[in-house]
Each structure stands twice: as C-alpha cells, then as structure tokens.
Structure 1
Amino acid sequence: MDFNSEKEQLITQLIRETIANNLTWAVKPPPYSLKQATENYVPLYIEGEYRNTRIGIYEIRQKYFTDIDEYHWTENLGICIVQDPEIVVWQVEEYSPALKELFNMARHQASGIRGILGM
C-alpha cells in the first residue's frame, strides 16, 4: 500500500466514524511543531482520538512569495498524528476533497451548533 492510499484510507475511515458519531472532534491549541519556528499560521486546529491515536486536522495559512518582498497568503488543509506530549509524528498538507469534507464535518461538530439549536 502506498502513502497516498494510506492517507486516503485514513481520511475515509475518519469520515465514516464521524458520521456514525463514534468520533468526537474538539477545538484545541495546535501542537508546538505546527506553530513554532515557522511563519505559517494555524487559525483552526481540531483534534479527535481514533483507536487510541490523536488525530488533528487543521487549516494552515502560508506566505506565497511572488517577489523577494511581495507575498500573499495561501490556505491549505492538513491532517496529522500527534503523540504525547505535543509531537507531530506524521502530517500531510495538501488539497484533498475528502480532507475538506472531513474538516468541514469536524468543524461543524466541534462548533456545538446542534446544542445551540437544541438538537
């Protein structure tokens, strides 16, 4: 099994578990390595535990330089596996329709909007 296949399989399984309400997502501070010694910015980090493993999904903003002193911000999504205390041992940051779907589902669940609406 290759790397991309494993990544997509993990994302698909996390989507299934989220739909079945077997996986709970919560907003947390990003792990140390995602926010230190980098110009990248993580505005939203959501974490859940699946099979005794901490899984994080996040939005990341990065500077895209068009010249030596000119840049604009780009956005991407990432998924990572975190080990205690705050060590990211695996991560992928790339566009994936499945990862976007998972991120949106996790963000919706973590927002608590169903509770606000009394559902």
Structure 2
Amino acid sequence: MDLSSEKERLITQLIRETTSGNISWSVQEVPYSLGQATENYVPLYIEADYKNVKVGVYEIRYKYYMDESEFHWMESLGICIVQGHGLVVWKVEEYSPALKELFNIASYQASGIKNILGI
C-alpha cells in the first residue's frame, strides 16, 4: 500500500469515527514544530485522540511568490500525527476533498455549535 492510499484510508476512518460519535475534536495550541522557523501561519489547529494517537487537522496559510517581492497568501489543509510534547512525526499538507470534509466536520464539532443550540 502506498502512502497516498494510506493517508486517504486514515482520513476516511477519521470521518467515519467522528460522524458516529467515537472521536471528539477540540481546538488546541499549534504544535511547536508546525509554527516555528517558517513563514507559514496556522490559524486553526484541531486535535483528537484516535487509537491512542494524537491526530491533528489544520488550516495553513503560506506565501506564494510571484517574483522576489510580490506574493499572495494561499491556503491549504494539513493532517498530522503528534507524539510527546508537540512533536509532529508525520504530516501531509495538500488539498484533497476528503481532508476538506474531515476538517469541516472536526471544526464543526470543536466549535460547540450543538451545545449553543441545545442539540
């Protein structure tokens, strides 16, 4: 099995487990190694425990340079596995419809909208 299919399989399992209520997502501090020594910015990082492993999904903003001095901010999504005290041991930052779906579900759950509405 190749890395791409394993990533998609993990995302699919996380979506399934989240929608069935077996995983709870919460907003957490961005792991140190995602936010240091880079111009990238992570405005939202959401984490859950899945099979005793910390899994994070996040939005990342990065500079896309048109030339040396002109750039535009671009956005992407990422998924990572975190061990210890914020050490990211695996990450993928790319667009995929499945990752977008997972990020949307996780951010909805972490937002607490159901509690606000009394659902």
Structure 1 runs of 4+ with >6 Å offset:
none
Deviations 1:85-109 (A, max 9, x none): 1100000000100000000000000
Normalization by structure 2: what TM-score? 0.99
The amino acid of 1:94's aligned partner reads E
Deviation of 1:82 (Å) = 0.1
Question: Does 2:83 correspond to 1:80?
Answer: no
Question: Pairwise mapping of residues 77-116 of structure 1 onto structure 2 (< 5 A)?
Answer: 77-116=77-116
The separation in 2 between residues aligned to 1:15 and 1:86, in whole angstroms, is 23
Identity of aligned residues (%): 67
The separation in 1 between residues aligned to 2:85 and 2:31, in whole angstroms, is 9
Query: Which runs of 5 or more residues in structure 2 are unaligned?
Result: none
Deviations 1:26-51 (A, max 9, x none): 00011001101100000000000000
Query: Which runs of 5 or more residues in structure 1 are unaligned?
Result: none
Normalization by structure 1: what TM-score? 0.99
Give the length in aligned residue pairs: 119
